[in-house]
Structure 1
């Protein structure tokens, strides 16, 4: 197959960015981020956004969809989908094969499964109507509005749950509205970064402690001081949620670290659930472990370009 897109994905803390940079360098191409939080300016340590990683041999690998909106702005699946295809069309016209890299499985699935999406406006009257609902009641409402839940994380955060209800309600009330879709033929080569579960758990714990030492708590505190509400920070999930709870005095430091470590591990399992779903749907994921990643990066370059020389 003549691939026109390379996707590098995998669970959190599995080395996706490092591999993506090697592949992009080998192909003389660019990276499109598939990370739902790295789009936000100022969300750096907590999202693992280290732009120094995009340098290889002193050269900057061009990247897209990183640091493009403020934390106060909304950036959802529809925004990603639209921005991705704007970029993708440009790559096709230049005969380049971009690297889509990240762990937001919903974003990746939307591209390979050819989602058709609606640009749904905020429904303030609906939000006011359900403002007093408990999370359980909101979940029941969402389930009554749509038979299948695409993203289970919608049930874990009030803002995400409200947005999912808005979209489901809009679909019911506007059945004639045409969803946006793309007719561009995406031919992806999907690479998954794999670690055995015990090793991945160790990596997650080590990375969490390193980020705390690097100033992750101070980052969240600064975001709040600059006007980002606690509610908004909690919406960003994981690191931002539990550090916000700690800074509000709702968790002790040790409770925050322990709970956050557990939640990140649970999140990595959910990511793997998404990848298994993709495989069941017929999307082949080429899993690579730590011992073969550099070699596989070269092989990927050769498959796409036909070049046989060594890049590293």
Structure 2
């Protein structure tokens, strides 16, 4: 194995098969996985976030994973916290002389640690929030595009999340630039390249399966534990639309149709982010999704040894 790399990163849009590949690769290399998924950090949000923890058992062996189930539903986790938690996990794996695998689809989380961005704990800005009240998600997203700094458009699918992203950008614009808190990491970056139509087919199939597995009951149980509907809607996608259904704001068919469209749009935004990473200087080695994982692993191992 080439020890020149600090870690391996496996990225790609939702439903492309990242986790299964990462787990099989971790088994092959006898290492551990750090999740880069902004919603899998939450406990009890399992079906909707697609944790698929059974994937972490390979040939009877449980693959150690980090940054999954570390917060309660209702809390608000962010990239600042992720960056610090990532390094705790990363250092613990490196101390075992293993090569960590970072796996996920949240582009901003991945980029923040690979580049070692200096991020700040951002306080709430009540005046800014009040000035943005009433703006549509489309208007807020358009505002986000005007900022030059790093911002996360992939996960912004509710007005609250968009306002928080703007709040972060505004705060960081008025801070004096300082050296990065963390050193950039040299990662072998593997992207799972899935054809658009195949991606759409898999997303639709997976949505149907998740609903059959009890995703609506999962959301209802979280609401029953005292998390407010607004708190769940904040997380977007499955939790947003199922909550709107459970609170009587959407019919089942409306929820299903709107959620399916939203997930397709989310996957498209993920790919836009990854292409942007390439423009920002990252080399992503794209591997076709439709070849067996054994072949993918051989390709990755060959790139490690080059």
TM-score by length of 2: 0.89
Match of 1:120 among 122, 127, 139: 122
SS of equivalent residue, structure 1 residue 82: helix
Q: What is the number of equivalent residue pairs in this alignment?
A: 303
Deviating beyond 6 angstroms after TM superposition, the runs of 4 or more aligned structure 1 residues are none
Taking a change above 3 Å as real, the CA distance of residues 170 and 148 of structure 1, as seen in their structure-2 partners, is closer
Question: What corresponds to 1:309 in structure 2?
Answer: none
Question: What corresponds to 2:96 in structure 1?
Answer: 94
Q: Assess if the C-alpha contact under 8 Å between 2:43 and 2:71 holds in 1.
A: yes
Taking a change above 3 Å as real, the CA distance of residues 144 and 12 of structure 1, as seen in their structure-2 partners, is closer
How far residue 121 of structure 1 moved from its aligned partner, in angstroms, is 2.4
Query: What is the distance in 1 between the residues matched to 2:37 and 2:141?
Result: 29
How far residue 134 of structure 1 moved from its aligned partner, in angstroms, is 3.0
Taking a change above 3 Å as real, the CA distance of residues 270 and 154 of structure 1, as seen in their structure-2 partners, is closer
Q: Assess if the C-alpha contact under 8 Å between 1:24 and 1:30 holds in 2.
A: yes
- 1:104-253, aligned counterparts within 5 Å? 104-124=106-126, 126-127=128-129, 129-130=130-131, 132-135=133-136, 139=140, 146-147=147-148, 150-153=151-154, 156-173=157-174, 175-176=175-176, 178=178, 181-183=181-183, 185-253=184-252
TM-score by length of 1: 0.88
Match of 2:31 among 23, 29, 32: 29
Question: What corresponds to 1:310 in structure 2?
Answer: none
Q: Assess if the C-alpha contact under 8 Å between 1:10 and 1:271 holds in 2.
A: yes
Instruction: Structure 2: state its 5+ residue gaps.
Output: none
Taking a change above 3 Å as real, the CA distance of residues 153 and 203 of structure 1, as seen in their structure-2 partners, is closer
Q: Assess if the C-alpha contact under 8 Å between 2:156 and 2:162 holds in 1.
A: yes
How far residue 176 of structure 1 moved from its aligned partner, in angstroms, is 3.6
Question: What corresponds to 2:284 in structure 1?
Answer: 285
Residues 228-278 of structure 1 show CA distances to partners (whole Å, capped at 9, x for unaligned) of: 111111111111111111111111111111111111111111111111111
CA RMSD of aligned residues (A): 2.6
- 1:252-263, aligned counterparts within 5 Å? 252-263=251-262
Query: What is the distance in 2 between the residues matched to 1:49 and 1:229?
Result: 23
Taking a change above 3 Å as real, the CA distance of residues 123 and 251 of structure 1, as seen in their structure-2 partners, is same
